[in-house]
Amino acid sequence: MNDETVRRPLEGLKVLDLGHVYQVPYAGFLLAMAGADVVKVEPPDGEPLRARILVSGGASFPMIMLNASKRSMAIDLKSDDGRALFLELVAEADVLLENFSPGVMDKLGLGADSLLEANPRLIYASGTGYGLSGPDRDALAMDLTIQATSGMMGSTGEADRMPLKAGPAITDFLSGTHVYGGIMTALYDRERTGKGTRVEVAMIEAAYPALASNLGVYYGDRTKTQPRNGNHHGGNAIAPYTVFETSDGYVAIICVTDRHWDHLTVAMGREELMRDERFKDNKSRVAHIDQTDAIVAEWTGGRTRHEVMEAAREFRFPAAPVRGLDEVVADAHMHERGAIFDVEHPQLGTIALTSSPIRLGNIPPLQASDLSELDADRDAIIADWLGR
Amino acid sequence: MNDETVRRPLEGLKVLDLGHVYQVPYAGFLLAMAGADVVKVEPPDGEPLRARILVSGGASFPMIMLNASKRSMAIDLKSDDGRALFLELVAEADVLLENFSPGVMDKLGLGADSLLEANPRLIYASGTGYGLSGPDRDALAMDLTIQATSGMMGSTGEADRMPLKAGPAITDFLSGTHVYGGIMTALYDRERTGKGTRVEVAMIEAAYPALASNLGVYYGDRTKTQPRNGNHHGGNAIAPYTVFETSDGYVAIICVTDRHWDHLTVAMGREELMRDERFKDNKSRVAHIDQTDAIVAEWTGGRTRHEVMEAAREFRFPAAPVRGLDEVVADAHMHERGAIFDVEHPQLGTIALTSSPIRLGNIPPLQASDLSELDADRDAIIADWLGR
């Protein structure tokens, strides 16, 4: 389905991807989507996500989605033979990615210092939870624990209930995307200096900027150390701004301007609210936020989600359906753009995989769907990279 | 506080940042942190986030954090004079970033096609909600609406309650980071081709890969279209794996292996549970998840968060404190690494700004803290870029 004659920006680039699970494999996925030859180096029993497929069907999909674009080679880095072969590949590589715990690669004799000495043009990228230095360097890092320590969890949920994690593994993907950006920055720099370098991204540091609005609210009122506000505006400065129940699901409705509100009142057949002192402008609505929400909720409650969205289009107020994953994977828009695409999987049935969210010029999105079996590409890689 | 003699990878690169609020300004921030000369081009009344400072203190912090590294120039792109000056700057620029609604720049005569014709080496990067093509191109896009339509909201929250947004504006930052990666990919490609190109990232497409685990659970059991599971494991495959209340806050505890559980039972003084059929291995604990959680909750409930974390270190089981933003901004680890740093703000007091989450080699993190007044750098930019 992909046009082989298309030239992609990273063609010819050789990548050793030692990543596991989501964070660094996602960076390797973005490199592969941009045209690089990404070799997924796995331990003899496969990376943890591949191993998990055997115990849980849930791991199949992420493994295929993030790695179908890569070639697989199993190497036991703890054996002398394995390390020797690996070092031969390192000598040819442009980029190495890994997200082992800090110190693991050093103990194997494969740390950045020694590999950069062996191959001074190498970009050696490490994704970690807390970074390669500092007092928390060795603290346990998984998406859940970083959501807890970074402040993301404290900012998610309802004010009178427990803090909640964001459902998706966002600190993994946010930091993995930074790893990709860091590698590209280092590759660009190598064009000038001729030299490789080390790239480092810590999950907790990649999470911090994303808390911009929450930190803004915190610094506005430091007595609220956990500014959880459910689906409402973080700063309680806009109303209506939340999720409403319809007869068959939920919709998000946001009136950023008073004109949006005026349109909504017409849609609701409640034009008198435009002139009501309690609701006529955003400041008044925020002061009467419970009543404002109740008025909108009463209206949405008697309608289907589709009816609310039709009204939003007709009367022009901002609204969005809260979609289930069944709708997301069938999204006509992303399918038309080639951002996601269906493939048949023997166990899972039809699944929607993703191409890169990054588009350059008119280059069509690359769509990879065949996950290599563990070690399946060993001979081809040795032939291509080492010429034997 | 920054060492001016340090060479940064993007030094000499000229950037026109027309971004507003979070998504594209964050990409511009990462470019500035890597050494580029980023000119923030604002409308005569300032970008929306700057304007919001006047009505809400909450906007001050994000505006400073994301833009303190940039120079400001106000240009009215709707005026002939403004456009003429802007085109002079475009002729000198390496990168242009914008996140207006699709079509806005074209209507101003400043679309990618015409600017790439004027300056074939330009990288023209657009951040959008839904992309520059497809049926949903013109749908309203804010972080809240993209969290709703992308499936993030449907995957966040408790199973028996409403879907919830993640507290932070994660789709803005996730897509903004992809914009940065796309720009760096295009700059790297320009080293080969001599030509610039268009870069495009849609928020909804950048969100899709981050749903990897949620999609995995969905494809494992398609009857669950909204697999919300609070703080529990998305696939209900690990126990304990959730957030527990202590006497003074919350902790996340996760037993990924049975050894972690054994350690936890010792910490709790409940060694008999190691041999109890209901709890002895992960499969049994998942089958008795409510009882498992109750046992751990009873133990944590009688302890402070600090005591639980001390026990986690002593007996070696994975745990993390759910931290408030007061703790995050004071984080000793990130401060020691220079990832975040304190500055005094006349209205907000001491605030912790951030450097780039991307580190290259031994280059110390750049720390910018002085937000330019609107249009403050006009003369200097005209002198530096246009030589007059």
The distance of A32 to chain B (nearest Cα, Å) reads 12
> To the nearest whole percent, how much of chain A has pLDDT over 90?
86
Contact B359 A201 (CB under 8 A): yes
Residue of A nearest to B34 (CA): A185
Beta-sheet pairing, B249-254 with B319-321: antiparallel
Question: Does the CB of B180 have a partner CB in chain A at under 8 Å?
Answer: yes
**Which chain A residues are Cβ-neighbours of B333 within 8 angstroms?**
130-131, 134-137, 204
Chain A residues touching B234 at Cβ < 8 A: 58, 167
Q: Is A167 on the interface with B (CB under 8 A)?
A: yes
Q: What is the DSSP letter of B365?
A: P
Q: Which among B198, B229, B258, B360 is the top mutation candidate for probing chain A, defined by the most A β-carbons within 10 Å of its own β-carbon?
A: B360
Whole-angstrom Cα distance, residue B227 to residue B156? 8
Q: What is the pLDDT of residue B238?
A: 87
Mutation site, A128, A144, A305, interface B, largest B CB count within 10 A = A144
The SS3 call for residue A98 is strand
The answer to whether the Cβ–Cβ distance between B169 and A351 falls below 8 Å is no
A260 labelled catalytic: no
Residue A39 pLDDT: 98
* Mean pLDDT confidence for A175-179: 98
User: Distance (Å, rounded) from C-alpha B241 to C-alpha B69?
Assistant: 40
Catalytic residue among B178, B232, B233, B263: B233
Domain ranges in chain A? 14-209+330-386, 241-324
Selected for mutation to probe chain A from B340, B359, B367 (highest A CB count within 10 Å) is B359
- Report yes or no: A343 at the B interface, CB cutoff 8 Å: no
Give me the pLDDT at residue B226, please. Answer: 67
> What's the CATH class of domain A14-209+330-386?
alpha beta
Mean pLDDT over all residues of chain A? 94
As a whole number of angstroms, the distance between CA B25 and CA B27 comes to 5
Contact A215 B325 (CB under 8 A): yes
The predicted model gives A154-165 an average pLDDT of 93
A173 contacts in chain B (CB < 8 Å) = 174, 209-210, 212
Q: Do B325 and A225 touch (CB under 8 A)?
A: yes
pLDDT per residue as tens digits for the range A314-326: 999 989 999 999 9
Q: Indicate the pLDDT class of residue A235, thresholds 50, 70 and 90.
A: confident
Task: Kindly report, residue by residue over A245-272, the tens digit of the pLDDT.
Answer: 999 999 999 998 899 999 999 999 999 9
3-state percent helix, strand, coil for chain B, nearest multiple of 5: 45, 15, 40
Exposure string for A158-185, b = 16+ CB within 10 A, e = fewer:
beeebbbbbbbbbbbbbbbbbbbbbbbb
CA A229 to chain B, closest CA, distance in angstroms equals: 8
pLDDT of residue A270: 97
Residues in B closer than 8 angstroms to A152, CB to CB, are 166-168
Interface residue B50 vs chain A (CB under 8 A): no
According to the model, what pLDDT value does residue A247 have? 97
pLDDT band at A6 (very low <50, low <70, confident <90, very high): very high
Taking an 8 Å cut-off on Cβ atoms, the answer to whether A328 and B187 are in contact is no
Give DSSP secondary structure letters for B210-244: GGHHHHHHHHH-TT-SS---TTS-TTS-SSSEEEE
Residues 245-264 of B with CB under 8 A from A: 245, 250-252, 254, 256
Residue A360 to residue B199, Cβ atoms within 8 A: yes
State pLDDT tens for residues A278-308: 999 998 999 999 999 999 999 999 999 999 9
Structure tokens at B156: 């966040």
Contact B177 A182 (CB under 8 A): no
Subunit contact B349:A323, Cβ cutoff 8 A: no
Q: pLDDT per residue over A37-82, tens digit each?
A: 999 999 999 998 887 776 556 678 999 999 999 999 999 999 999 9
Q: What does the pLDDT read at residue A329?
A: 97
Of B221, B228, B236, B250, nearest in space to B292 by CA: B236
Low-confidence ranges of chain B (pLDDT < 50): none
Least trusted range by pLDDT, from A109-113, A234-238, B97-101: A234-238
Please, are residues A271 and A283 in contact by the beta-carbon 8 Å criterion?
Answer: no
Return the amino acid letter for A137.
R
pTM for the predicted model, two decimal places:
0.97
Residue of A nearest to B345 (CA): A219
Structural fold of domain B241-324? formyl-coa transferase, domain 3 (3.30.1540)
CB-based contact A229 B167, cutoff 8 Å: yes
Q: How far is B318 from chain A (nearest CA, A)?
A: 7
Contact at CB, B162 and A351, closer than 8 angstroms: no
B338 at interface of A, judged by CB pairs closer than 8 A: no
The larger pLDDT score, comparing residue A235 to residue B322, is at B322
Nearest beta carbon to residue A164 from set B135, B157, B333? B157
Amino acid, res. B138? D
Contact with chain A for residue B227, Cβ under 8 A: yes
| Alpha-carbon distance B255 to nearest alpha carbon in chain A (angstroms) | 12
Catalytic residue among A178, A233, A260, A263: A233
Q: ∠A341-A342-A346 over CA atoms, to 5°?
A: 145
Mean of the pLDDT values across residues A327-354? 96
Contact A131 B237 (CB under 8 A): no
Contact B264, B319 (CB under 8 A): no
> A7-17, pLDDT tens digit by residue?
999 999 999 99
d(CA A67, CA B209): 12
B243 burial type by CB count under 10 A (0-12 exposed, 13-18 middle, 19+ buried): buried
| A325–B26 CB contact, under 8 Å | no
Say which CATH superfamily domain B14-209+331-386 falls into. Crotonobetainyl-coa:carnitine coa-transferase; domain 1 (3.40.50.10540)
